[in-house]
Amino acid sequence: MAGKTAVRDQLEAKQAEGDFWNNPEKAKSVIGQLKVCNALLKPYEELTAAANDIKAMAELAEEDAAFESELEPALQKAETQYEAFELQIMMGGKHDSRSAIVTIKPGAGGTDACDFAEMLFRAYGRWAQRHGFSVEDEDIEPNQEAGVASVSFKIVGPYAYGYMQSEIGVHRLVRISPFGGGDTRQTSFAAIDVLPELPDDIEIVIKDTDYEVQTFSTGGPGGQHVNKTQSGVRLIHKSGIRAECRMGRSQHKNKAEALKMLQTRLEAVEEQKRMGDAVKSYDAKGEIAFGSQIRSYVLQPYTLVRDERDGIDVKTPAVNDVLDGNFDQFMHAYLRHKAAKSNKVKAK
């Protein structure tokens, strides 16, 4: 932690300089780096302070039993702080500390799938709010009957990507459809893709000849003002990996953003190979249908949310609580599983 503390000291010194705001872009970068440092250091400092307090209480309790009643809640609080810090240090990946770009698309299930995609969009927005993140740059393509045909947004704040990477994949919903069909259970699917938001000055190492550029028309922010120009950009790499951006009205900016996304996906494929995972296209969830899901949300005939990935045995009957944004137990289980797997690879 000494190295991180030294970096924070340097950043705070820059922030205190009289001409700090003369270069707004540089100032924004410094503030962002400082937030990332504090996201790791503050939990550590709070945990250290709690440990010192507990040590002092224990010494007092040896002399006066009245202090024993204060010791138990302090220990419980410290345990919670330790778990939070433990999760924080598990997010040591190259881009884990960055903000997240999230895309949700409905799959099999028709209108129910579009409605499910919107339910997940709201749920992640609530999760972000609970954890001090902000949701920005929403790009919503509404479905004609209900729900969304596609939605992209950013979750902004330190380590948003570190947490949200656990949600990548196909999600499955089982319920009685509110859109007709009697009392028959309807199964619907939605796919979630998550990428880190990379800085504008990142070096792009992909050759222009290695990908194809496609453009398409798209709605503006929030699904408003249908854009008749071809501002959306889709890049198709020679490996088959794709990236697209439609968040802004500038084709040039969307292409630059799509290039960063494509580079991140290519890096992720290499990381998956290193970890020994079965690799196809990073952004390919396969068919967004039965048999490919990472998590199931069952509302009828019983209530259950269950993670279906190997090595992550997490389930809860509190479906409404999860769909209200409480994804923590699933995210935490994923991070612990990923860390354990990474340690095994390093030990080889």
User: For the segment 40-84, what is each residue's pLDDT rounded down to a tens digit?
Assistant: 888 888 888 888 988 888 888 888 887 788 888 888 888 888 888
Does any domain span residue 50?
yes
At residue 11, what is the residue type?
L
**348: confidence class by pLDDT, cuts 50, 70, 90:** low
Say how far apart CA 271 and CA 244 lie, in whole Å. 21
95 belongs to a structural domain = no
Confidence check: pLDDT of 124 > 60: yes
Q: Are strands 169-176 and 293-298 parallel, antiparallel or unpaired?
A: parallel
Q: What is the CATH number of the domain that holds 84?
A: 1.20.58.410
Closest among 213, 220, 217, 216 to 248, alpha carbons compared: 220
Instruction: State CA 47 to chain mean position distance.
Output: 25
Sign of CA dihedral 193, 198, 200, 206: negative
Residue 170 has pLDDT above 90, yes or no: yes
Indicate the residue among 90, 119, 140 that finishes a domain: 90
3-state secondary structure 164-180: HHHHCEEEEEEEECCCC
Q: How many CB atoms lie within 10 A of CB 69?
A: 9
130 has pLDDT over 90: yes
Find the mean pLDDT for residues 292-312. Answer: 89
Q: How many CA atoms lie within 13 A of 78 on its CB side?
A: 16
Whether residues 203 and 243 share a domain: the answer is yes
Same domain, yes or no: 174 and 81: no
pLDDT in tens, 243-292: 888 777 788 888 888 888 888 888 877 776 765 654 333 344 555 666 67
- Parent domain of 135: 100-347
Query: How many domains does the chain divide into?
Result: 2
Give the rounded percent of residues in the chain with a pLDDT score beyond 70: 89
Both 157 and 246 in a single domain? yes
Asked if residue 103 lies in contact with residue 150, where contact means CB atoms within 8 angstroms, the answer is yes
Kindly state the tokens that stand for 114.
Answer: 């579009």
Asked whether residue 57 falls in the same domain as residue 163, the answer is no
Helix (H) or strand (E) holding 191: strand 185-196
pLDDT tens for 203-248 read 778 888 888 888 887 654 444 444 456 788 889 988 888 888 877 7
This prediction's pTM: 0.78
Q: What is the CATH number of the domain that holds 334?
A: 3.30.70.1660
Q: How many Å apart are CA 67 and CA 207, to the nearest integer?
A: 67
The mean predicted confidence, pLDDT, of the chain is: 84
